[in-house]
Amino acid sequence: MKKQSFSSKCYTLLKKVPRGKVTTYKEIAKALGTRAWRAVGTAMNKNPKAPKIPCHRVVLSSGKLGGFAKGAEKKEELLKKEGIKISNKKIINFDKLFFKFPKNT
């Protein structure tokens, strides 16, 4: 397993996101050194490790929730439980709740 699939890297980064914070597909892709936001979302949809990965903490770069395999409504509820305030499917204090990945590990 020297080189995991692109999706596996996304899950790894996602697990690094602390509870109560959120990240965007674009940031993940950028952290991986790519521009495949699309592929990131596609990878999340597969979500082979559903409860193991906080996929519900990933939102659109616009600050909106985006989509969710179990339903966007469910995702909103989960984020609210994390302590995140949401209004009209939009995250409040998004820039404050936004978790950015470190450049060097």
Write the single-letter amino acid at 11: Y
Kindly tell me which residue out of 13, 17, 22, 47 binds DNA, with binding defined by CB under 7 A: 47
Provide the minimum distance between the beta carbon of 96 and DNA in the complex, in angstroms, as a whole number.
18
Tokens of 72: 């966007």
Write the single-letter amino acid at 31: A
Q: Is residue 10 annotated as a catalytic residue, yes or no?
A: no
Kindly tell me which residue out of 17, 22, 31, 44 binds DNA, with binding defined by CB under 7 A: 44
Kindly tell me which residue out of 21, 69, 78, 82 binds DNA, with binding defined by CB under 7 A: 69
Are 100 and 27 contacting, i.e. CB atoms less than 8 angstroms apart? yes
Alpha-carbon span 44 to 10, nearest angstrom: 8
Residue bearing tokens 């592929």 = 39
| Binding site residues, DNA, CB under 7 A | 5-7, 24-26, 34-47, 55-56, 58, 60-62, 66-69, 75
